[in-house]
Amino acid sequence: MYHTGKSKVTSDQYLDLLRIYAKTQHRDGAPYIAEAHYPVRDAWSGDSFNHSEHYLHSTYNDNTLSGLFGIIPTFEDKLSIEPIVPDNWTYFAVENLPYHGHLLTLLYDKDGTRYNEKKGLSIYSDGELIHNQNSVFDPINIDLPKGQNSNTSTKVNIARNPQMGQGYPAVSTNYSSDNGTLLMVNDGLVLFDNIPFNRWESHSTSQSDLLNVTFARPRKLDSITLAIFTDEDRKVSCPESISVSTDSGAISHKGFSCAPNDFNTIELAEEVETKTISITLHHKEGYGISLSEVQVWVEPNNGPTYYAVDGITNGCKVVESNNEIGYSVNPSGDLNLEIGGVISKSDGSKSISLSYKNSGQDTFVVASANDNLSSTNFTLKNTANEFASTDFSLSLGKGANYITLSGGSNDLLLDSITL
């Protein structure tokens, strides 16, 4: 409605449709989202056990936040708002909405008695009032404050491996129950539900079980986060205690107090650099242990150099080499390497330098950015078994991008890209 200014749909009609949409997200009178719903029948057309549950791939949140409340995202550090709430609404609130490194709160209080703040529509950024106006319907276009949060880096989880068993990070354990799938423990998906099943479980008769996370290269870290699933009726509970070791041996941590069905962060006594982090989970007597996810959060690499071994290798080999970090990626067949989190300070064409070694014949490589929004190709020449570099250009967006390299040969070693 607000994008074109030509729609004949009223705000009341929009809200009626949104309510119908919300009522659709139910089954047997309780909130429920499955895979697909019939257009007119009050039933789910796609609803299979241990698959369709929580199948939230639609845009319900967008319909509420960007639609009803009119919060229009932009690539710039600006905030555009144009609500289409009904005329008879006297209040609404959107609290702690993450946006461009800030937490935004919108409070609409027609007479100021609902929230005991200012009358009208107020906008807060990180708890500070940045805008207020009487009318909820007047369009808002304001700059976000240049506070410290606007450039705050979001930590990245270096334990995540969406390849489900291929490449790194790799997970291993001394035991896995028949109803547990180890590869789910670092697939990036966290669920604290019995069904759908997405966790590693151990019901071993040992007093403790070991979970190892091995990275492609030694990484610095100071904490580990465990998403611990508990269901005492099914004899799965919090571990009694936890111990941690690295390549160099056991390391102390600052204590562990388990929060069931929640994220539990174990802070190490000091920062360590290790290729493998090992977590020993000591059983509560009579109970097994279940983890939905293991996470290792570190500060992101903001460039300008991004190492190939830190990317998604998709079946490529990680091998030791004589480059700066001691590890490179070898295609081991067709190259399919994805390097994410590549930061560009502005939109447009960017020159990228690829560091590589080619001990065989010249080989053809295709480079693309952000799901083929931009692509190019080039030849990597024989380098006489020495590392060399070649430049190519891709169109990148401001902020984080991901770059895919494909092609190559078995004689190729990829080191890094530099923006």
pLDDT digit string, tens, across residues 243-285: 999 999 999 999 889 999 999 999 999 999 999 999 999 999 9
The pLDDT, as a whole number, for residue 152 is 47
Q: What is the CA radius of gyration of the chain?
A: 26
Sign of the C-alpha dihedral, residues 341, 345, 349, 354? negative
Q: Is the pLDDT of residue 324 over 50?
A: yes
pLDDT reported for residue 282: 95
What pLDDT, in 10s, does the model give residues 167-218? 899 999 987 665 558 889 999 989 898 888 889 988 888 889 999 999 999 9
Is the pLDDT confidence value at 115 over 90?
yes
Q: What structural domains and CATH numbers belong to the chain?
A: 11-143 (no CATH), 156-298 (2.60.120.260), 305-418 (2.60.120.260)
- At residue 74, what is the residue type? T
Residue type at 233 in one-letter notation: D
pLDDT band at 230 (very low <50, low <70, confident <90, very high): very high
Say whether pLDDT at 15 is over 70: yes
d(CA 163, CA 55): 20
pLDDT of 149 reads 46
Give the angle subtended at the CA of 158 by the CAs of 152 and 161, to the nearest 5°.
130
**Residue 252 confidence (pLDDT):** 92
Q: What is the enclosing helix (H) or strand (E) of 60?
A: helix 60-62
pTM surpassing 0.85? no
pLDDT of the residue at 171: 93
Which pLDDT value is given to residue 151?
Answer: 42
